[in-house]
Amino acid sequence: MTAPPLDGLRVLDLSRFIAGPLCCQILGDMGAEVIKVERPGGEDSRRNVPHHRGHSLYTLNYNRSKHGITLDTRHPKALGVLEELVRGSDVVVENFRPGTLAKMGLGWERIHELNPRAVLVSISGFGQTGPNRDRALFDAIAQAASGLMSMTGTPDGPPTMAGAFVADHIAAFHGVMGAMMALAARARTGDGQHVDISCLDALFSCMGTLPAAWRMLGEEVGRTGNRDHITVPANAYPTADGYLYLHAGTDALFPRLAAAMGMPELTGDPRFADQEARLVHVEALDDVVRGFTRRHTSERIGALLAAAGVPYSPVNSVAEATDSAQVRARDMMIEVEHPELGTLVLPGLALKLGGTPGSVRKAPPLPGEDNAEVYSRLLGLDADELAALRADGVI
């Protein structure tokens, strides 16, 4: 059997909530040995709703492919344990507020001293530098600060947050990329380095041309609902039984849409002759397309657009997307057997490598599930030493 791409790497996961745990989960799915450290009793997210048989789906969703240990990092005896874990790790991931790790006695300088080859990935709200570095951040705060929230919603409505935690997830992906790049550099130099990931930076990087358009051209685009900013028609249109999003804004795609609607004459209308003209007459063109879509079901319109080669999708509910044939075909929902909870249905692996594929290597651990195995194997602690640490409240 082919070894996964990160086989042989060890990751120390000191993170909580989404960005850090997801970063480590991806590394674990790709073969790294991930040691997740939680305080005794488990991290705060284990109390987040919804729950499955008394366990938070939130925690289960971001912590598979990991070995779970507990350690009270504020206990005086914990630092020595953490230091030994750092000595044996290739990557350390944390998402405390900047400076917290240093206050624990384990800042970057100390980590580099303990293990010069270790890579430290710090994922924080605003980053390790800048005037806002010490401020707390949740996903919607990043959406507000990045400008994304100001762009989301209808022109006459309030700024609106996205329906998913996009900033945390994008920061997690940047954390994975940062770890991989630092490890690639280590292969040449022999030295680890500190990777500084900001949720705000990660989300701001997704704003496309909008920041540059403001700085260089003085242009600022307001909220346009579901309408694309630069091409027309590209919008969510009502159908006889729901909504369907189509994108036919380019000069190559628009004639295909016109033909699919049975209105080839639209291409000869000077208002719709090219992309620039269609942008000027966006309301008129949207009215035409809307008049067509309202008369047909999403399935019927989809068949016409598919035959014409026009990009489209019905606006699916979460249930419809989860149960769709495409998601099933791509194994984006998978079953994982948990020793206590039975069969879990979790998101699959978005990274699909043809030669060295990843896989879910372990069900999400219970708090401290692997204490005995990890502490004995990695630190050489025997049963009496583990019992003493447990009695002192260290683990």
The CATH number of 234-317, from 3.40.50.720, 3.30.420.40, 2.30.40.10, 3.30.1540.10, is 3.30.1540.10
pTM: 0.95
* Per-residue pLDDT band at 227 (split at 50, 70, 90): very high
Looking at residue 2, what is its pLDDT? 87
Looking at residue 335, what is its pLDDT? 97
* Average pLDDT for the chain: 97
Average pLDDT of the residues in 250-258: 97
- In tens, the pLDDT along 263-314 reads 999 999 999 999 999 999 999 999 999 999 999 999 999 999 999 999 999 9
Report d(CA 212, CA 216) in Å as an integer.
6
- In tens, the pLDDT along 40-63 reads 999 999 999 999 999 999 999 999
Instruction: Give yes or no: 139 in active site.
Output: no
Q: Are the C-beta atoms of residues 35 and 374 closer than 8 Å to each other?
A: yes
- Which of 277, 276, 275, 254 minimizes the C-alpha distance to 266? 254
Kindly name the residue from 168, 286, 384, 392 that is annotated as catalytic.
168
The burial of 376, by beta-carbon neighbours within 10 Å (0-12 exposed, 13-18 middle, 19 or more buried), is given as middle
> How many of the other CB atoms lie within 10 Å of CB of 243?
16
- In tens, the pLDDT along 71-111 reads 999 999 999 999 999 999 999 999 999 999 999 999 999 99
Tell me, yes or no, if the two domains 10-205+326-391 and 234-317 fold the same way. no
- What residues are paired with 12 via a beta bridge? 35, 92
Domain 10-205+326-391 superfamily per CATH: Crotonobetainyl-coa:carnitine coa-transferase; domain 1 (3.40.50.10540)
- In tens, the pLDDT along 331-362 reads 999 999 999 999 999 999 999 999 999 999 99
- Which of 58, 61, 118 minimizes the C-alpha distance to 94? 118
The burial of 143, by beta-carbon neighbours within 10 Å (0-12 exposed, 13-18 middle, 19 or more buried), is given as buried
- In tens, the pLDDT along 61-80 reads 999 999 999 999 999 999 99
Dihedral, 16, 17, 19, 23 alpha carbons, nearest 10: 60
Q: Which residues contact 356 (CB under 8 A, 6 or more apart)?
A: 2, 3, 4, 5, 31
**Residue 256 above 90 pLDDT?**
yes
Residue ranges of the alpha helices (H) in the chain?
A: 19-29, 57-61, 78-87, 100-103, 108-114, 139-146, 148-151, 166-189, 199-204, 210-212, 254-260, 275-280, 282-293, 298-308, 318-322, 325-329, 371-379, 383-391
**Residue 221 above 90 pLDDT?**
no
**Residue 37 above 80 pLDDT?**
yes
**Residue 1 above 80 pLDDT?**
no
Q: Where are the domains of the chain?
A: 10-205+326-391, 234-317
**Residue 378 above 80 pLDDT?**
yes
- In tens, the pLDDT along 134-158 reads 999 999 999 999 999 999 999 999 9
